[in-house]
Structure 1
Amino acid sequence: MDPKRRCPVLPDEITADEILARLPAKSVVACRSLSRAWAAALSSDDFIDLYHSLHGGRLKILRLHEEAKSYTDRHGAAPPDGMPLAISAASFPRMVKVFWEDWQTIPILLTTQCRGLIIVELNPMGLLYVCNPSTGQKRELPQGRTTGCGRNRDWMHEYASLGLGYDVRSRRHKVVRIYHKGYDGEGRPASAGCEVYVLNDTAQSWRPVRAKPPGWVHPYKITVFAQGHVYWLAHRKHHFYEGYTRPSEMFIACFSVSEETFATVPPPPGVDSETLSKQCLTVLAGRLSLFSWGCPDHGQRYDVWLLRDYGTNTGWDLHCRIDVATASLEVYRFLGPRYDVRHVDSYPPIIPLAIVDDGRCILLARSELPDKICAYAPLTGDIENILDFRSLQTLDRTPLEFAVYEESISTLGRQTCKDIILTSSPSTQALSLLLHLIPEHTLPSLMCVCRSWCTTIALYLRGRASR
């Protein structure tokens, strides 16, 4: 080639927009460390939006697993192609097992993915992390307002629920936290509030929101972000019987991430408050989806509803209906009930993961002890096995849960200061100094004294484990 025809310098817009924006997320993050100019350009909001426009919607599968050892540790080789990304207790700091040695640490997914980010809770400690599965980055969330209450049986209503959304105005991720304190004589929340934590914000703390949630949000179901709102399955009352509670007057609650206001969404036609207990919310094709299940007559049926839009044209479209009674034998084996679903009010036995192949197929997985992922084609009624963990022989145990995510280069902000002595109260400073003199085996019992002691001792143990 003639040297005169070569381009002496590649234009910056070609380098960033056409080359770097098409690299995997881990490669882009690595390129940020090459120079200050590249770090500023590849971390700008414009480049992050460009990257999302190119990679958003190209969903990948991850699995939450209780097995701490990786495939490489056990087999000495890389995992086979197509094996989903794993998130296990080994992905997080070793500190979380110091004071719960008798308990098995497992990750629990709290939210669907929001522009590549998810929120995971580590049980039984209750530590909350925002994670970017694409880059492996994680950030521990600070503790929010307490939900403690003094009356008997209020422990049933001392909880908080988290949601993750994206504000298109500020171009920031927001973590939404709804908390409840007790109940009144009629089964309604005695006190409920909401607060917001903004990622990459200088405050790095929870900010209270004036808007109040319209009722109890369900603490054991995944929250969803779609079409600019965070959604929960909720109920207005609790009925008490034999020491337990039963929800009533269920509805769909939503929170506008930009306006920071609450509202409700009417359910699809034919779905009332009674049957909402047998539904799950998720995101399919970028829209809020209600996955309903039930037992019409003598069979079992699944309906996939998609929210048309939020606002003046709010409505639902029935994407597909799967009648197990009239389906093929392969569909029945995968979707058929393992138990009598008429007596179950919790999570559906099957959950949808994504709509793929230009809307022609739905990825489905079991919600309890999932061992495979199948693609169901509504037009033909065929089902195809996409991934079967029983045949891979790569895991010692069945995954806890499957989820989807997309490539993201969103940063999680700087970590909070670990030196709590500089910014804490005198009593906390004194406790921090005394921790060096107290035997380590007594620290777990001291963590039960109060919330501030728990945080202080947990940070101290984390610092010792990292040395």
Structure 2
Amino acid sequence: MGKAARAAGETPLRRRAGLPEEIIFSNILVRLPPKSLLCCRAVCRAWRRATSKRRFLLAHHTHQPAHPVFLAGEEIFGVPCHNIRAFDHRANDVQTVAQLDEAFDLEASCDGLLVLSKFDYTARFRSFSVCNPATREHAPLRCPPWDFHIVGMYAHRPTGEYRLILQRTIDMKLSEGQIGCYVFLLGSDQPPRYIGWPETGSWTFDVPVRVDDSLHWYSQFYLGKSNPPQHQRDNTPVIVFDTIDESFRLMHDPVVSTQATIFDMDGTLGIYRRNYEIKQIDVDPFMKEKETIGIWVLRNYESEVWDKKYRIKLPLAEIRDDFGNHDDYCLEVVSGDGDVFMLLLLGRYLIRVDSNGKLLENSNIGRENPRMTKWLLKQSLVQHTFFPALEGYAVNGSPWLPKLTHL
């Protein structure tokens, strides 16, 4: 860049394209993936300053898509490692967002933050940590007594704190306290705070879906009173947790089935149910002959009105022709760009099927034993004040493998 351009405060892109800075930052840079944005910071000091401001980073985070997360294990030069991978449907690519030098499991995801767990088989103890793959930050968590398990993570908007929702059930060995749900401040030394159960009874929790300031679970089992309310007899309710006042309530669901799953449908709630017929033959008595996916979308949140929007027949015959007679596939419904598609994980292949039941592209993930998690990752470069305060906090240190360093 020449002296005259620097004096005028122009950037190379502005000089070449004649674009005002508002367009450059608000419409172009804010939409780039985190890794590309970090590379753009090297263009000039003005870009680095502008793209490092918290306001810009928050806007950048809102423009990032939420990608389905996969875990995969492999060995690199004899060192066991665990990969965190995300499927980008626009690029039709499974991208590695983190490579760890130890085997971890994924416990929660929120605003680009991941809570990981690691089990020490020698000491028979599970340790936890929090990380941000985009900024390569990592820190161990000081944990409460872990006769709990994590069922959700959220940002408490009034305080800006990140908190975990913990569940303690009757099947666990109780050291102290009540059976039910607790809130735990991420990285706190204080014990978790009891917040009760959703109404009366015991519930199982799957991966939650966040809409506005609430988390939603589709409860697969109700173990409460012998004579529950009518809406609990007729269907399996959606459990709603208000992250502002930290209270539970129930929402009606559209289907009567224990084979249904809740998912994020472009910022609202969707529920899908799998229906299949078993083909009774001697070769494989459990082979699915047909499978259809029914999808309901929440049309009105306040009145809890659902619409059945899709009924999709999977192209099983075509899938068997291309990938063999295997029915042990995992399936998830994902929304993107106003539509839905299905991801089928079959061995090392990730197969995409559109809302019309048409077989689209497939990706060969490789020899990594991939596993679907049902979590979504919406990457973020926002700096969080709690991170440096945690003991053991590091950037680009262990457990990250060095090959993905990009800061």
- TM bracket (short chain): 0.5 to 0.7
* C-alpha deviation, 1:255, in angstroms: 1.0
- Structure 2 unaligned runs (5+)? 12-19, 82-90, 226-233, 279-288, 399-407
* C-alpha distance in 2 between matches for 1:19 and 1:72: 40
Is the alpha carbon distance of 1:190 and 1:110 closer, same or farther for their aligned partners in structure 2, counting shifts above 3 Å? same
* C-alpha deviation, 1:10, in angstroms: 4.7
1:163 is matched with which residue?
Answer: 152
* C-alpha distance in 1 between matches for 2:9 and 2:189: 41
* C-alpha distance in 2 between matches for 1:224 and 1:2: 50
2:129 is matched with which residue?
Answer: 129
Is the alpha carbon distance of 1:140 and 1:10 closer, same or farther for their aligned partners in structure 2, counting shifts above 3 Å? farther
Amino acid at match of 2:202: W
* C-alpha deviation, 1:384, in angstroms: 0.9
* C-alpha deviation, 1:171, in angstroms: 4.7
Kept in 2, the 8 Å contact 1:62–1:87? The answer is no
Is the alpha carbon distance of 1:179 and 1:249 closer, same or farther for their aligned partners in structure 2, counting shifts above 3 Å? farther
* C-alpha distance in 2 between matches for 1:293 and 1:87: 30
* C-alpha distance in 2 between matches for 1:288 and 1:227: 11
Kept in 2, the 8 Å contact 1:301–1:323? The answer is yes
Query: Which of the pair is proportionally richer in helix?
Result: 1
Among all aligned residue pairs of Structure 1 and Structure 2, give the percentage whose two residues are the same amino acid. Answer: 16
TM-score when normalising by structure 2: 0.65
2:370 paired with 1:399: yes
Amino acid at match of 1:266: H
Amino acid at match of 1:355: S
Amino acid at match of 1:350: L
2:364 is matched with which residue?
Answer: 388
Determine which of 182, 195, 198 is the counterpart of 1:194: 182
Is the alpha carbon distance of 1:3 and 1:195 closer, same or farther for their aligned partners in structure 2, counting shifts above 3 Å? closer
* C-alpha distance in 2 between matches for 1:349 and 1:26: 30
Matched position secondary structure for 1:365: strand
* C-alpha distance in 2 between matches for 1:190 and 1:137: 34
Question: In the comparison of the two structures, how many residue pairs are matched?
Answer: 343
* C-alpha deviation, 1:260, in angstroms: 0.8
* C-alpha distance in 2 between matches for 1:309 and 1:70: 53
1:375 is matched with which residue?
Answer: 352
Matched position secondary structure for 1:64: strand
1:84 is matched with which residue?
Answer: 94
CA deviation digits over 1:143-172, x for unaligned, max 9? 12453xxxxxxxxxxx42330223444455
* C-alpha distance in 2 between matches for 1:407 and 1:210: 30
Query: Which of the pair is proportionally richer in strand?
Result: 2
Kept in 2, the 8 Å contact 1:308–1:315? The answer is yes
Kept in 2, the 8 Å contact 1:236–1:249? The answer is no
Kept in 1, the 8 Å contact 2:264–2:335? The answer is no
2:293 is matched with which residue?
Answer: 302
CA deviation digits over 1:109-166, x for unaligned, max 9? 334x53333333334653333333333333433312453xxxxxxxxxxx42330223
* C-alpha distance in 1 between matches for 2:372 and 2:169: 27
* C-alpha deviation, 1:398, in angstroms: 2.5
* C-alpha deviation, 1:337, in angstroms: 9.5
2:107 paired with 1:110: yes
* C-alpha deviation, 1:52, in angstroms: 2.2
Kept in 2, the 8 Å contact 1:300–1:336? The answer is no
* C-alpha deviation, 1:249, in angstroms: 8.3
* C-alpha distance in 1 between matches for 2:274 and 2:217: 18
* C-alpha deviation, 1:404, in angstroms: 4.4
Kept in 1, the 8 Å contact 2:344–2:352? The answer is no
CA deviation digits over 1:254-278, x for unaligned, max 9? 211122111112111xx22xx22x2
* C-alpha deviation, 1:365, in angstroms: 2.3
2:365 paired with 1:416: no
1:55-66 map, 5 Å: 55-56=63-64, 58-60=65-67, 62-66=69-73
Is the alpha carbon distance of 1:118 and 1:169 closer, same or farther for their aligned partners in structure 2, counting shifts above 3 Å? same
Amino acid at match of 1:91: L
CA deviation digits over 1:430-451, x for unaligned, max 9? xxxxxxxxxxxxxxxxxxxxxx
2:317 paired with 1:329: yes
* C-alpha deviation, 1:66, in angstroms: 1.8
CA deviation digits over 1:376-406, x for unaligned, max 9? 2224x311123123xxxxx433212366433
Kept in 1, the 8 Å contact 2:58–2:382? The answer is no
* C-alpha distance in 2 between matches for 1:5 and 1:323: 59
- Name which structure has the greater RCO, CA cutoff 8 Å, separation 6+: 2
Is the alpha carbon distance of 1:18 and 1:225 closer, same or farther for their aligned partners in structure 2, counting shifts above 3 Å? closer
* C-alpha distance in 1 between matches for 2:95 and 2:25: 27
Kept in 1, the 8 Å contact 2:150–2:164? The answer is no
2:59 paired with 1:50: yes
Is the alpha carbon distance of 1:376 and 1:194 closer, same or farther for their aligned partners in structure 2, counting shifts above 3 Å? same
* C-alpha distance in 2 between matches for 1:70 and 1:173: 37
1:206-355 map, 5 Å: 207-214=192-199, 215-218=201-204, 221-234=206-219, 235-237=221-223, 250-268=236-254, 271-272=255-256, 275-276=257-258, 278-295=259-276, 299-310=290-301, 312-324=302-314, 327=315, 329-330=317-318, 349-352=330-333, 354-355=334-335
Matched position secondary structure for 1:47: helix
2:338 is matched with which residue?
Answer: 359
* C-alpha distance in 2 between matches for 1:127 and 1:40: 38
2:285 is matched with which residue?
Answer: none
Is the alpha carbon distance of 1:2 and 1:282 closer, same or farther for their aligned partners in structure 2, counting shifts above 3 Å? closer
- Structure 1 unaligned runs (5+)? 75-80, 95-104, 148-158, 184-188, 240-247, 341-347, 390-394, 420-461, 463-467
Kept in 1, the 8 Å contact 2:351–2:361? The answer is yes
Task: Please provide the CA RMSD for this pair.
Answer: 4.8
Kept in 1, the 8 Å contact 2:94–2:363? The answer is no
Matched position secondary structure for 2:76: coil
* C-alpha distance in 1 between matches for 2:189 and 2:158: 19
Amino acid at match of 1:282: F
2:34 is matched with which residue?
Answer: 25
* C-alpha deviation, 1:316, in angstroms: 2.2
* C-alpha deviation, 1:208, in angstroms: 1.5
Matched position secondary structure for 1:330: helix
Matched position secondary structure for 1:317: strand
* C-alpha deviation, 1:29, in angstroms: 6.5
